[in-house]
Amino acid sequence: MLTDELRTAILSGHIEEGEYLRQRGLARRYGVSEGVVREALRRLEAEGLVETERRKGASVAKLSTDEVKELWDLRILLEAHLAQHAVPACRREDLAHAEALFEAMGTERDPVAWLGLNREFHACLYRPSGRHRVLRFANNLRSLIDRYLRVHMAVLQNFSLPHHEHRLILAAYRKKDARLAVARVEAHLERTAKSIATFLTTMKQ
């Protein structure tokens, strides 16, 4: 599906922030009609990944440091809510899947591949909550800001700290301790948000 291909290209950095998305060129590149391209761009605009300016057309959306912080604040609220409800309902097979993803992240050093594992790791831990609408909102927020996390990981190559924090979150899930899991999820996301904000501020100086 073209929407998925374009989303992946944006999140991986193959289509850069601010780059214009010309319908005719995309139609030729992907071998689809311009109508299919328009529909894909509309969907990505609804997700916040694309913005459209009159007379200029569609481009990959840019976010300010303040906007990134705001999105992280929302994400922390949503993911804490999801963890609160997921821990009591988490099954043995859910935890086994999360642990397998955790192990894979421990050896992965490609930022794009690591982020894919990271997205599935968090989603795996939150799905048992049964809060499907909230999970969709959280996933949309993650899509908006994962590209900044990708650049952050690519430059700093700091994989050990999030891995340690993921280990702590898993331990809380194993104990069926929802309060501890929420606290560790919040601490993990808050630390990451501050690190990215500092990184973006430094990059723009």
Domain ranges of the chain: 2-60, 65-203
**78 with 144: CB under 8 angstroms?**
no
pLDDT at 155 (0 to 100) = 65
**pLDDT tens digits, residue range 127-185?**
999 999 999 999 988 888 888 888 777 666 789 999 999 999 999 999 999 999 999 99
**148 with 200: CB under 8 angstroms?**
yes
**pLDDT tens digits, residue range 83-133?**
999 999 999 999 999 999 999 999 999 888 898 899 999 999 999 999 999
Query: Which CATH number is associated with domain 2-60?
Result: 1.10.10.10
Q: How confident is the model at residue 79 (pLDDT cuts 50, 70, 90)?
A: very high
* pLDDT greater than 70 at residue 204: no
pTM for the model: 0.80
| Structural domain 65-203, CATH architecture | Up-down Bundle (1.20)
DSSP conformation letters of the chain? -HHHHHHHHHHHTSS-TT-B--HHHHHHHHT--HHHHHHHHHHHHHHTSEEEETTTEEEEPP--HHHHHHHHHHHHHHHHHHHHHHHHH--HHHHHHHHHHHHHHHH---HHHHHHHHHHHHHHHHGGG--HHHHHHHHHHHHHHHHHHHHHHHHH---HHHHHHHHHHHHHHHTT-HHHHHHHHHHHHHHHHHHHHHHHHHHT-
Greatest distance between any 2 Cα atoms in the chain: 56
pLDDT at 156 (0 to 100) = 65
Rounded CA gap, 191 and 161, in Å? 10
